[in-house]
Structure 1
Amino acid sequence: MKNKLKRLIYLEEYISINGIKQFMFHLGTSYDNPVMLFLHGGPGSVESLFTCAFQEKWEEIYTVVHWDQRGAGKTLTKNPDKLPTIDLILQDLFEVIQYLKKKYNKQKIVILGHSWGSVLGSVFIRKYPEEVAYYIGVGQVINMLENEQVGYKKVKELIEQADDKRSMKRLEKIGEYPGNKIVFNKKFLKKCDEVRKLQGKYKLGMKIDLALWITVFKSPIFKFSDIIAFMKIFQANAKLHSFLGEFNLSNEPAIYQVPIYYILGGNDWQAPYIIAQKYFEEINAPNKNIYVIPNAGHMTMMEQPELFFDALLEINNTEVKNKCHFIQKSEDIAYDEYLESKVR
């Protein structure tokens, strides 16, 4: 039974976005709740298949919409030759938000970006701040090259401390990593895959194991074609990987026109939390806050779901209070202007 929780909002659909049919999965309990668009990682690694592992409580305060991006998941399966560039996917995202605003009668949408989604989300909110109520970055990527440098150094440090000779031999076989520039070719991807496995072993990053695949297979929307799509992500997202390799948020002033929230895993060294933490200090935004979740790695919301939800609840409550304060202030100003007009 797909909608086993009897959610008021439960919808799988393909919508025409920027010339192709793209997949969205909606879950929620009230049409009055704010709409959160979840931007998945990768590029190409959809997280619509993991909703049952972490999202149940979220749906009490948000209508959560997962979108399989161009070049990913069910959207890739339906459009195997319609592959993404950064300009295409930004336009896709803009159109997805217009659709959601109209469907749910909202003026703005909340964006949560995880890993690659945090790159896409950060670029989008700079370009279209008027479309976004606020932004939540999870596994936030600041500088891709620095990510790999710091993450590699950390796993090497732990391997040395553990006197893990077998893992040290694997590191030595990798050789220089990541180099002075990231180019997502076969050679780099092979090295990166080995580093990720070692990070997973030491609980520093996402671990792709049997438990993860069982979660996928239990998803109410899982199809075997999703596995085939996952196997194609590097080829399908080659142009996005090129953009990602050179990505560095610090190249521009850390000035944002929307509230910014970061939820980071205190043991995330795949997108090292210490880099995002340092960058966050520089952020100038209407409102901001940062949450570092202990004993959580790159899949923060799955590894510490209760603490993650507590952070989301606090963020939502803060934004509700801010909105009420803004409305009250606007009403006070309007009333003062009315009184002044009477005096005249």
Structure 2
Amino acid sequence: MRKLPALFALMLTAVAAPALAAECKSTAQYADARAVIEDLDRIVAPNGVQEAYAAPIGGIQQWINVRGQDRDNPILLFVHGGPASPLIPGLWQFQRPLEEYFTVVNYDQRGAGKTYTLQDPQSYADSIHIPTYVDDAVQVAEYVRKRYGKRKIVLAGHSWGTIVGMQAALKRPDLFYAYVGIGQAIKVMENERLSFDYGMQQALAHGNTAAVEEMKTIAPYPGDQPVTRERIITARKWAQYYGGMTAYRAESPYFYRAGRLSPDYTDDCERAAVDEGNVYSLGKLLPEFLATDLSGVREFPIPVLMFMGRHDYTTPSQPTDAWLKRVKAPYKRGVWFERSSHMMQWEEPGKLLTSLLTYVRPLTEEGRADAKR
């Protein structure tokens, strides 16, 4: 089966394969390339920071990665997507320019990536619930804020990470200068409908009879039938095939294969653990994920920015745009990425950087809490 990316899709595909059968397949052929990337990524600036370590977060050890050219820069904390789709293996593809203006913090969430390998995941199986992930994000924010001597930080979420990040910002607004949603999920079941409708429209427009017939087997979607893993796979498959994941692309191998060249994941079993974490987390989180509805949030206590892909049909941007227009906040802004779908960091990294510099970094300057639009 062709892999289907982010916000549960990567997990869904992993489960469709033989469950928990991941192998530590050798990637030795990429060692020389990894060495080049590692050397390029090395931070040598005297006041820079380049650290990766396990920290006690939420009663378990969670893996944290911190990079920046100047410790005096504001901290930008990313909450990755998936769930259990860690961002750290792909940092080398887009993050270096951001590190000149922010100290960028990423962490592998519980049940994901290196955090999955640090302890027996069954020891915290009962904690795999969205509120726990929210508490984890808050604790990571507190931890790095104290460790690096900051009063507040910037919080950003991508895809699934927006469900966690937005709730963390609402729970502890005192920790954050601003919240940035990248591919924000507002009402998941509405997203499912929009994604399916887009896939059907595109299949009809392209005369793809096989795709139309396949989607008809689950129509109306989501409808009043249970939203199962199998139905989600069918619904997402064609929306993403027609560019709803990465604009103008039917597939996104750059995303899936990034770990093979990552200097941050040091052995093959760590890379294999990404898929294992996907499988581990899916069944536990799927019902809560599908029930997510943040459309009732009418006021936001801190500046809120939404980065929206014009062609995103993984977490469609229309509900996010509508929510942002009606929410009350001390500062709010929507930024459209016109040549992006869901993977804005990869698709338009230049616009990501300039948007953060133009709209977000000024909010970190003390005394500008009441920033104007």
- Fold match (TM-score > 0.5): yes
Give the equivalent residue in structure 2 for 1:142.
Answer: 186
Partner of residue 330, structure 1: none
Greater Rg over alpha carbons, structure? 1
Q: Against the structure 1 CA distance between its residues 88 and 181, is the aligned structure 2 distance closer, same or farther, given a 3 Å change threshold?
A: farther
What is the aligned partner in structure 2 of residue 102 from structure 1? Answer: 146
Query: Which letter does structure 2 place at the counterpart of 1:251?
Result: G
**In the alignment, residue 254 of structure 2 is paired with which amino acid?**
A
Taking the aligned partners of 2:63 and 2:277, their CA distance within structure 1 comes to 17
Amino acid of the structure 2 residue aligned with 1:261: L
Higher-RCO chain (CA-CA 8 Å, sequence separation at least 6)? 2
Structure 1 residue 58: Cα displacement: 0.7
- The answer to whether the 8 A contact 2:85-2:278 is kept is yes
Secondary structure (helix, strand or coil) at the match of 1:268 reads coil
CA distance in 2 between partners of 1:68 and 1:237 (Å)? 16
Gaps of 5+ in 1: 328-344
Alignment correspondent of 1:340: none
Aligned to 1:219: 262
CA distance in 2, matches of 1:231, 1:38: 22
The aligned counterpart of 1:251 is 296
Match of residue 338 from structure 1? none
Is 1:289 matched up with 2:333? yes
Q: Distance in 2 between matches of 1:227 and 1:96?
A: 25
Q: 1:120 to 1:32 in 2, by over 3 A?
A: same
Instruction: Say if 1:77 and 1:229, in contact at 8 Å, map to a contact too.
Output: no
Instruction: Name the CA distance, whole Å, in 2 between partners of 1:211 and 1:5.
Output: 18
Which of 137, 160, 163 aligns to 1:119? It is 163
SS of equivalent residue, structure 1 residue 12: strand
Q: Which amino acid aligns with 2:88?
A: S
TM-score (norm 2): 0.81
1:9 positional shift: 1.5
Moved over 6 A (4+): none
Q: Which residue of the partner structure matches residue 200 of structure 1?
A: 240
| SS of equivalent residue, structure 1 residue 271 | coil
1:37 match: 77
Preserved contact between residue 38 and residue 113 of structure 1 (Cα < 8 Å)? yes
Compute the RMSD of aligned alpha carbons: 2.0
**CA deviation profile, 1:106-155 (whole Å, cap 9, x unmatched):** 11121100111101111111111111111000000000000000111111
The change in CA–CA distance for 1:326 and 1:93 in structure 2 (over 3 A counts) is closer
Match of residue 6 from structure 1: 42
Give me the whole-angstrom Cα distance separating, in 1, the residues matched to 2:273 and 2:169. 32
Determine the structure 2 residue equivalent to 1:17.
57
Task: Tell me which amino acid in the other structure corresponds to 2:114.
Answer: K
For the Cα contact (< 8 Å) 2:78–2:107, is it kept in 1? yes
After superposition, the Cα gap between the structure-2 partners of 1:239 and 1:216, relative to the gap in structure 1 and judged at 3 Å, is same
What is the Cα deviation at residue 213 of structure 1?
Answer: 3.2
Report the 3-state secondary structure (helix = DSSP H, G, I; strand = E; otherwise coil) of the residue aligned with 2:40.
Answer: coil
Deviations, residues 211-255 of structure 1 (Å, cap 9, x unaligned): 333322111113433333324424324333222111111134x20
* 2:95 pairs with 1:55: yes
